[in-house]
Every structure is written in structure tokens, then in C-alpha cells.
Amino acid sequence: MRRGIGFWTGLGFTLLISAFLILPVLASVIAGVTANQFVGLSSGLTTRWLVEVWANYGGTVLLSLRIALATLAVTLLIGIPAAYVLARHAGVTARLVEEALVMPVAVPGIATALGLILAYGAVGDLRASWLFILAGHVVFCLPFMLRSVLAVLLALDLKGLEEAARACGASWPQRFLGVVLPNVSGGVLAGSLMVVTLSLGEFNMTLLLHTPFTRTLPVGLADAYTALRTEMASAYTLIFFVLIVPLLSAMQWAASRAERLGR
């Protein structure tokens, strides 16, 4: 089958946009393993910057992973039941509650962080703990988990499924765990993918919430760029990609597998 001019035009445009998006990432990765970024690849390749980044900022990487996984756990515990309740009780009140829960997405992260500091910054030692950053990430990421699960629930005949399970003698926990959750696994995994990605890369809110002892990966990356240490900052970016790409690939694989099993 011959390809028309439209196909080749669309393919060329897609490749051009892909190159435009990938080129900055590739340039940053190359700078992170180049001995002298201003000279270029002719200066040789080195792992010096990666070693220095891990020695100086390794704690920020591990803290970001801890916060991202904790954010995922909390949003799962809150978001799935909240989405279930909103789907079961559709109405004006449910829609108002939903809009209130997703409002932090529309508010600048710095404004949300300032509100958290004013409201809870004086509570014990919370301000100096990484749990304070966790609270901010949960506020920001919860809407993405909620909307992902709610969209799947609203597309299902939820009441019909539960009535069928009740007719078979299933209790509410059995219906929720054995019927509802398996049917929304795709939405849960999609929400998890967004939550982990957003938490690892969140900067605006974390910039105000962090302390010198609770710097996350994006804050450390900004510090490296501010200090004009281009090679260090690029090596920092490379470490971020090494962490995030396998994690996201694994989650996408899990989502695809869950979708196939559901079919």
C-alpha cells in the first residue's frame, strides 16, 4: 500500500516535534558525563560529576523517593475511597466536594505552600520534618488520583455490579475488595503513575516547604544550576532520569498488564 503525501507530512512533523522535545534532554545528559561542558565531547567523557552529585546530593535523591512513595500510599488510601463515595452518591453536593478536592491544582504551588506554613507551620516540629513536604505533595497530587479512579468508576455500572455481588451473598468488604477494586485497577495504576511522577518532580511548593535538612531532588537540582555548576546540574538531571524512567516504565507495564487481564 502506497503512502500518501499526508502520511509523510504527518510523520515528518511528528519526528520534528519529537526531536525538539528530546534534544534538550540529550544535551543535558551529555553535559553530565563530559569532562568540560564548554569544550564539549572533545574534552572526553567522565563519571566525576555523577560521583560528586551522589556524594553531595545523594540524600536529596533518597528523600525524594521516600516522599514520592509515601505520597502514593496516602493518595491511594484517601483517593480510592473518596472516588468510590463520589461515584455512589452523584449529585450537587458530590460535585461540590469533588471541585473542592481538585482546587489545589488550579492554585499556584507557592500559594498552597504558604497556606500550609501559616496553618500548620507552628505545630510542633512539623515544619522541620519531611512530613511537612509530604503533606504538601498529598494536597497537590490527590486530585490526580481521585480523578483517574473516579473516571473509571463513572464509566462502570457500579450499582449493577454491586447488586449482582450482593445477590451472590457478598458482604460490603467483599464487594469493594473483590468487585470494585479489580474493575478500577487501570484507573488506580494511571493515577499512581501521575502521582509518583508529579511528586518526584514537584518544585514550586517544595521550594517553600523545605529546610536545609529536607531538600528534595528538584530543589537540589535548582541549587546546582544557581551555583552555575552546569556539569553538576546536568549529572543531577541524568541521575533523575535513571531513577524515573525505569520506575515509570514498570508502572506502565503494570497498567497494560492489568488492562489485558481485565479484558
Does some domain include residue 258?
yes
Beta bridge partners of 45: 34
Report yes or no on 90 lying in a domain.
yes
Is residue 182, in this structure, part of any structural domain at all?
Answer: yes
Q: What is the pTM of this model?
A: 0.80
Query: pLDDT by residue (tens digit) across 157-184?
Result: 777 777 777 778 777 777 777 777 878 8
Q: What is the DSSP-derived secondary structure letter of residue 127?
A: G
The mean-pLDDT minimum among 52-61, 111-120, 225-234 falls in 225-234
Span 113-147, pLDDT tens digits: 888 888 888 888 888 889 999 999 999 999 999 88
Q: Phi then psi for 40, rounded to 5 degrees?
A: 105, -165
In a domain, 8, yes or no: no
Q: How far apart are CA 48 and CA 234, in angstroms?
A: 12
Spatial separation of the C-alpha atoms in residues 74 and 195, rounded to whole Å:
10
Q: Does 96 map to a domain?
A: yes
2 lies in some domain? no
Distance between start and end Cα atoms, the chain: 32
Q: Establish if 15 belongs to a structural domain.
A: no
Report how far residue 77's alpha carbon sits from residue 146's, in angstroms, rounded to the nearest whole number: 11
pLDDT exceeds cutoff 70 at 2: no
Which residue(s) pair with 34 in the sheet?
45
pLDDT tens for residues 235-246?
877 887 787 777
Nine cell digits for residue 144: 490526580
The rounded distance, in Å, linking the Cα atoms of 44 and 194 is 37
Q: How many domains does the chain have?
A: 1
Which domain range does residue 170 map to? 56-262
Q: Is 196 contained in some domain?
A: yes
CATH code of the domain containing 210: 1.10.3720.10
More confident site: 243 or 70: 70
